[in-house]
Amino acid sequence: MASFTISVNGTPRTVTADKNDYLLYILRDKLELTGPKYGCGVGVCGACTCNSSTPIVAEGGNGNSPYSPDSRFSGTQPTTQKNKFRTCVTRIGDVGVAAGSTPAINITTIEGLSGLPNGPALQAAWEQFDVAQCGFCQAGQLMSAYEYLTRVKGAATDEGITNAMQANMCRCGTYPRIRAAMMAAAPSFR
């Protein structure tokens, strides 16, 4: 066990953990940030998706792969790095720094979305289109949607949304409403 400092939603947080502990459990169990959800635990469903201020490369990869940044689960190295990642397969030792040091990367969970530029606009679109059904996947959906709309500066396309969101599963089938909400929010990101 060791002490790590991570920056979450703009605030440095120090936790005691094994370097191989996965960030999802740190966020949920130690920091009481329960927005990111445990869906599959192996990097395939997207329920645990969070954003990062710069791409996180942890044993090869980031959250846009339907697979995992953890080489135990995937031999595939995504070629495009993005500012989102799967916390269920990202180890604290890959994102944290020694306790008291300044983290180079800030992690944004769904709890911090409203504090990001255009975050409220995206949330308003989600409400406008009544996107959520059971809601379990929606934190991950919103964080992936935010990453895409920010990256393309609001120039959303159907194909782009499909590619950006294909690795976020929704068992309730809210995909059409997600797409509509993203298109509605896109102008705010320009």
Residues at the site binding ligand FES, with contacts judged by CB under 6 A: 38-41, 43-48, 86, 88, 132-138, 170-172, 174
Rounded Cα distance between 143 and 107, Å, is 11
Query: Of the two residues 12 and 59, which places its CB atom closer to ligand FES in the complex?
Result: 59
Instruction: Kindly report the number of other CB atoms within 10 A of residue 175's CB atom.
Output: 17
Query: Of the two residues 95 and 137, which places its CB atom closer to ligand FES in the complex?
Result: 137
Query: Of the two residues 3 and 163, which places its CB atom closer to ligand FES in the complex?
Result: 163
Query: Of the two residues 44 and 185, which places its CB atom closer to ligand FES in the complex?
Result: 44
3-state secondary structure of 91: strand
Under 8 Å between Cβ of 24 and 87: yes
Residue 172 is which amino acid?
C
| Cβ 102 to ligand FES shortest distance, Å | 27
Query: Of the two residues 12 and 66, which places its CB atom closer to ligand FES in the complex?
Result: 66
| Cβ 174 to ligand FES shortest distance, Å | 5
| Cβ 65 to ligand FES shortest distance, Å | 10
| Cβ 15 to ligand FES shortest distance, Å | 19
- H or E element that contains 12: strand 11-17
Residue 109 is which amino acid?
T
Query: Of the two residues 81 and 133, which places its CB atom closer to ligand FES in the complex?
Result: 133
Query: For residue 98, what are the β-bridge partners?
Result: 4
| Cβ 135 to ligand FES shortest distance, Å | 5
Rounded Cα distance between 183 and 146, Å, is 12
| Cβ 56 to ligand FES shortest distance, Å | 14
Under 8 Å between Cβ of 55 and 62: yes
Rounded Cα distance between 181 and 14, Å, is 36
Under 8 Å between Cβ of 108 and 7: no
